[in-house]
Chains A and B, each alone.
Chain A
Amino acid sequence: MTSPRAPVRILVCVKQVIDPETPLSAFKVDPATKRVLAAPGVPPVVNGFDENAVEAALRLKDTVGAEVTVLSVGQGFIMDVMKKPLSMGADRLVLAQDPSFQDLDPFATAYILSLAVRKSGAFDLVLCGRQASDWDNAQVPLVLAELLGLPCVTVAQKLELAGKGLVVQRALPDGYEVVEAPLPALVSVSNELGEPRYPTLRGIMAAGKKTPVTWTAADLGVDLARLAPKLRVLDLFAPPREKQCEFVAGENEADAGRLLALKLREDKLI
């Protein structure tokens, strides 16, 4: 398949998040600031679904040719983390970084991203992850598409360029739907797309030599009044876990299986 506008210009929105695999015992909320605290010694990661989005972009780069720019909004970026998409094969990293870019809600994040997208020039496709594994909002892609006036398809498990547009398989609870949209468009990508590729040694070396472009709130012309969250966080707390597990053991594991069935019958569960 040849694209009418190869190389396709793709922007991938990527967020740095607290590692969602942090063991539960290390999960801490600071009640005063109402923030989740990163566990000591556990570095942040690129949001998992955003790696899927990078993978989707790189597959287009492999097949039809694409120029892939990674875009992130925040502060306190860890360069080793944020360079991972570059080492996977992305071409450019743009960090919208400012002390005011903290505790942003999805509307404010999407607003800043919309300014960064506009500033970065002409594009064909904006890719996002399905949701960020901190607040699990699944909201920024939709707000961003609205702000940019782009057609939007969420939860993609496959995307292809066809003619002047896109054909996207959108994952549904019981199957998928096929959605067509003209370019430019915004698509959020889900894990059903398949495993993101591992960075190669060559990729890591190349990424090491690249310097990210950084833009401040002033560079972007951000109206700081628009960053105020729309909802007030009254409370953030770890829910109590109250279950008491009854362990069933027997003479050996097979016996335990048998006794478990008897126990469930005794308690009228089967």
Chain B
Amino acid sequence: MTDMNAETVVLGDLADGRLSGATAELIALGRKLGGPVAVAFAGVGLESAASEALAAGADKAYLLNSPVLAELQTDALVAAFEQLCKHSSPAVVLVAKTPMGRDVGPRLATRLGVGLAQDCVDLRRDSSGTLIATRPVYGGNALAALAFSDARPSIVVVRGKVYPPLAPDPARKGEIVRFEPKLDPSAVKARTVQFVRREAAGVRLEDAAVVVSGGRGLGGPEPFGMLKELAGLLDGAVGASRAACDAGWIDHSYQVGLTGKTITPNVYITVGISGASQHMAGCSGAKNIVAINKDANANIFKEARYGVVGDWKKVLPSFIEAVRELVKS
């Protein structure tokens, strides 16, 4: 049976040199599981991230250092985490569903010969200590509950914004352990040579309290101007369905959904979006969904709290005008 004292290791990630929100969420999840939680950071100059991780609820931080890790190439990270797992044999490895995590998790699982569950939205132990992961499949049309075996570690890739981070406690103490993996520079076969950022100005889509999204029903790129105007009035951000992005009306960085961004706004206004499960997978955490769609049978109305059945060309202008008046008062 599972040894409840065995460590949970979170594969740590930095955002602009600080502990990433995704890592803080995984620490909170690790604490929920019980047993000690360690965060493993790879690279250089990680001391401040390590103390942030302890404050966020970790009991230990592993600092993985090697000149081969300097550029954080995926091939090097996989090899480094593989060595750490062989050295410290954790019970569970938690990986964030980020571009990096989604690559590292399955490769690590293959090397260690253990199971992995992708895109999990719930993780718990049953009464006998078996680790059970719940995850959406079929684009969110179904949920699967999966039981891990006793093979160590159980590797779990966790969807973002499911577990809220704990409030940081700077007084929390923990252990910092340095670990130097032996890495061969020739193990880095694929190499990232450049990052090209395409970030929208204004409130980040992932952080916005109000998001206004458009879909195929908009019929072209121009109406996104109106959505931008509406988002501006509400201090919100603009999003889109994959159909609108694929049509080239708006950049893919605006895509909400299973293969786009996960958002959890207080208000999510959709215009000309049918509400396919793969779209809803990215916004099911929205508190209040508002839908404008001309088809009364569209699936979006099964997920929405407020709806208008109608042509956006007629509904939207008066909606925006009324919002403009209301936010002034």
Contacts and interface: CB of A to CB of B under 8 A. Distances in A.
A131 B112 CA distance: 22
B322 A20 contact: no
Nearest to A131: B259
A24 interface: yes
Contacts of A258: 318-319, 321-322
A134 B117 contact: no
B142 A172 contact: no
A151 B110 contact: no
B36 interface: no
Interface residues of A, number: 83
Contacts of B114: 230
A147 interface: yes
A198 interface: no
Nearest to B111: A146
A137 B314 CA distance: 41
B203 to A, nearest CB: 14
A209 interface: no
Interface in B191-240: 191-199, 210, 234
A257 to B, nearest CB: 4
B193 A136 contact: no
Mostly helix, strand, loop or mixed at chain B's interface?
A: mixed
A201 to B, nearest CB: 25
Contact of B316 (A230, A252, A257): A257
Q: Which of A175, A260, A267 has the most CB of B within 10 A?
A: A260
A241 B303 contact: yes
Interface string A127-144: 000110111111100110
Nearest to B197: A175
Contact of A245 (B140, B267, B304, B314): B304
Given A107-B110, A138-B118, A174-B197, A153 B190 contact: yes
Contacts of B2: none
Contacts of B75: 151
A257 B99 contact: no
Contacts of A235: 143-145
A234 to B, nearest CB: 4
B118 A20 contact: no
Interface in A213-270: 230-239, 241, 243-249, 252-258, 260-265, 267, 269-270
B89 interface: no
Nearest to B144: A236
B259 A177 contact: no
Contacts of B161: none
Mostly helix, strand, loop or mixed at chain A's interface?
A: mixed
Interface stretch (A3-11, A75-83, A184-192): A184-192
A191 B234 contact: no
A261 B322 contact: yes
A152 interface: yes
A243 B189 contact: no
Contacts of A257: 292, 308, 310, 314-320, 322
Interface in A66-84: none
A147 to B, nearest CB: 7
B85 interface: no
A121 interface: no
A133 B139 CA distance: 7
A230 B258 CA distance: 24
B153 to A, nearest CB: 12
A241 B145 CA distance: 18
Interface string A9-38: 000000000101100100101000000100
A136 B138 contact: yes
Contacts of B299: 24
Contacts of A136: 118-119, 136-139, 258
Interface stretch (B25-33, B38-46, B53-61, B100-108): B100-108
Nearest to B304: A245
A238 B258 CA distance: 17
14 contacts: A20-B138, A20-B139, A131-B259, A136-B139, A174-B199, A179-B191, A231-B133, A233-B146, A235-B144, A239-B140, A239-B143, A243-B302, A269-B266, A270-B323
The 10 lowest CB-CB distance pairs between A and B, nearest first, are A230-B115, A261-B322, A257-B319, A151-B189, A253-B314, A253-B310, A257-B318, A142-B106, A257-B315, A181-B190
Given A237-B142, A248-B308, 4 more contacts: A107-B115, A153-B190, A243-B289, A243-B303
